[in-house]
């Protein structure tokens, strides 16, 4: 283990915990989203579902779950609420009745226009340059990829 790794791993101070920085930043960022989404009556997780549908069109629950890294049990209540609000419709696929497809309603499609300035409003709150946002996004994706790889390796090693 390098000296740098030892220094990082030996610290139990809150200020030295990367997990806390990620947690606090995530809470702060979703806090900025909250009033913007309240204006149109949706929550942040509902917004994420709508983003997937606006980007990909009608999608199976499995596809939405994969895109958002959410399990069926978490996603289903979100979809039920969105359906109750008239923003999405769920239906079984004709070619495979085991698969439930989710599609935007006209209201769901129209909502996109009402909140299309959300990313710009969020970027103002971040006060980062486009290059900084790109670098941060890249680092977060690298962190996620590395953790998934580490977890898969650790799980495989522990089961042997």
Whether residue 43 sits in one domain with residue 68: yes
Q: Which residues contact 30 (CB under 8 A, 6 or more apart)?
A: 44
Residue 34, Cβ density class (10 Å: 0-12 exposed, 13-18 middle, ≥19 buried): exposed
Whether residue 146 sits in one domain with residue 85: no
Per-residue model confidence as pLDDT tens digits over 97-113: 889 999 999 999 999 99
Identify the band that residue 121 occupies on the pLDDT scale cut at 50, 70 and 90.
Answer: very high
* Contact by Cβ (8 Å): 88, 52: no
Domain-located, residue 74: yes
Whether residue 133 sits in one domain with residue 103: no
Residue 50: how many CA atoms within 13 Å on its side-chain side? 28
Whether residue 87 sits in one domain with residue 25: yes
Domain-located, residue 69: yes
Whether residue 94 sits in one domain with residue 23: yes
The residue written with tokens 């978490």 in the block is 74
Per-residue model confidence as pLDDT tens digits over 132-159: 999 999 999 999 999 999 999 887 776 6
Whether residue 73 sits in one domain with residue 143: no
Average pLDDT of the chain?
A: 92
């Amino acid at each position: 283990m390098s000296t740098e790794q030892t220094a990082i791993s030996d610290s139990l101070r809150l200020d030295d915990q990367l997990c806390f920085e990620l947690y606090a930043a995530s809470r702060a960022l979703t806090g900025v989203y909250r009033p913007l989404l309240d204006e149109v009556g949706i929550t942040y997780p509902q917004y994420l579902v709508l983003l997937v549908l606006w980007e990909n069109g009608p999608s199976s629950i499995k596809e939405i779950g994969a895109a958002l890294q959410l399990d069926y049990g978490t996603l289903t209540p979100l979809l039920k609420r969105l359906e109750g609000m008239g923003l999405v419709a769920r239906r079984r696929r004709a070619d495979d009745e085991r698969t439930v497809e989710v599609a935007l309603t006209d209201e769901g499609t129209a909502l996109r226009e009402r909140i299309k300035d959300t990313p710009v409003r969020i970027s103002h709150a971040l006060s980062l340059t486009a290059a900084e946002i790109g670098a941060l996004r890249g680092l977060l994706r690298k962190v996620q990829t590395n953790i998934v790889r580490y977890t898969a390796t650790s799980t495989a090693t522990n089961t042997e």
